[in-house]
């Protein structure tokens, strides 16, 4: 089955800096890669996603890049703010599979 | 976006009792719902995939007789934790996948249920 590795496990940045979280996946047939933000005790919220036919997608301060050859994808957050502090999960879904495989998560802390 | 409602949000029960958690898709029909368990500071662990009108598919290591799943309609799936023990205490969360040619990704989560077994 699919295996998703996520790094780093924790990331501390100063407000205004950029943050990058990286994930790798094992199944070359995977074609959907969402990113979730989860605040303590709350549900994961989809913040951005990318499909395998696209190399990059941007939504305001958030962007995701995908390298299918290397089987890795990354989340980029620019101009970080304290409210960006949360746990971020990447996930991958294979073609024909119905489940998402999640990375272990990255705890992002943005200091004022 | 699609809304998934999970109830209750918190439950405390005595050891040995059973607890039922509901997951509803409010504005779409969900042929498939997923049940996850999340330990503190850890990722989401898929427990089972629930398909409307058929038996759930459990992940390896998940006891199907302990975690009963019923998906009786296109908008409701339930997870029953039977004979609960303190080690079952956790955050349980569902997600739902849309029906139809669009074939959703299961990206919509319920609010989660914090189960504490005392």
pLDDT at B104: 56
The pLDDT-based confidence of B105 (bands split at 50, 70, 90) is low
Q: pLDDT tens digit string along B32-63?
A: 889 999 988 888 899 998 888 888 999 999 99
Cis omega (within 30 of 0) for bond into B19: no
Beta strand A62-67 pairing with B10-13 = unpaired
Instruction: For residues A86-92, give the mean pLDDT.
Output: 95
The residues, any chain, with a CB within 8 Å of residue A101's CB and separated by 6 or more, are A1, A2, A3, A4, A25, A91, A92, A93, B46
Q: pLDDT tens digit string along A25-57?
A: 999 988 889 999 999 888 999 999 998 888 999
Average of per-residue pLDDT values in chain B: 89
pLDDT at B102: 47
Instruction: For residues A71-97, give the mean pLDDT.
Output: 91
Nearest to B75 by CA among B57, B92, B52, B48: B52
Average of per-residue pLDDT values in chain A: 92
Beta strand B90-98 pairing with B108-109 = antiparallel
pLDDT at A96: 60
**Cα dist from B99 to A40, A88, B47, whole Å:** 30, 27, 21
The residues, any chain, with a CB within 8 Å of residue B53's CB and separated by 6 or more, are B71, B72
Q: Give the A window 10-69 contacts with B, CB below 8 Å.
A: 32, 34, 41-46, 49
The tokens of B44 are what?
A: 């989401």
Instruction: Tell me if B33 sits within 8 A of B41, measured CB to CB.
Output: no
- Among chain B residues, CA nearest to A92: B105
Contact: A98, B49; criterion CB under 8 Å: yes
Interface test with B, best of A37, A43, A50, A86 (most B CBs within 10 A): A43
Higher pLDDT, A58 or A100: A58
């Amino acid at each position: 089955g699919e295996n998703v590795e996520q790094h780093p496990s924790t990331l501390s940045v100063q407000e205004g800096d950029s943050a990058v979280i990286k994930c790798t996946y094992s199944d070359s047939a995977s074609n959907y890669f969402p990113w979730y933000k989860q605040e303590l005790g709350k549900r994961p919220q989809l913040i951005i996603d990318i499909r395998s036919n696209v190399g990059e997608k941007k939504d305001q301060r958030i962007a995701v890049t995908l390298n299918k050859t290397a089987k890795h994808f990354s989340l980029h957050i620019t101009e970080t703010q304290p409210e960006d502090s949360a746990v971020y999960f990447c996930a991958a879904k294979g073609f024909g599979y119905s489940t998402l495989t999640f990375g272990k998560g990255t705890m992002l802390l943005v200091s004022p | 976006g699609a809304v998934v409602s999970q109830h209750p949000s918190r439950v405390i029960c005595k050891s040995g009792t059973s607890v039922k958690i509901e997951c509803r898709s409010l504005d779409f029909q969900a042929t498939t719902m997923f049940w996850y368990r999340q330990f503190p500071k850890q990722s989401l662990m898929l427990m089972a995939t629930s398909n409307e009108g058929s038996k759930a598919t459990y992940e390896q290591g998940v006891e199907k007789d302990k975690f009963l799943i019923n998906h009786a309609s296109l908008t409701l799936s339930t997870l029953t934790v039977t004979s609960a023990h303190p080690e079952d205490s956790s955050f349980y969360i569902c997600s739902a996948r849309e029906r139809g040619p669009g074939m959703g990704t299961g990206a919509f989560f319920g609010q989660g249920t914090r189960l504490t077994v005392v």
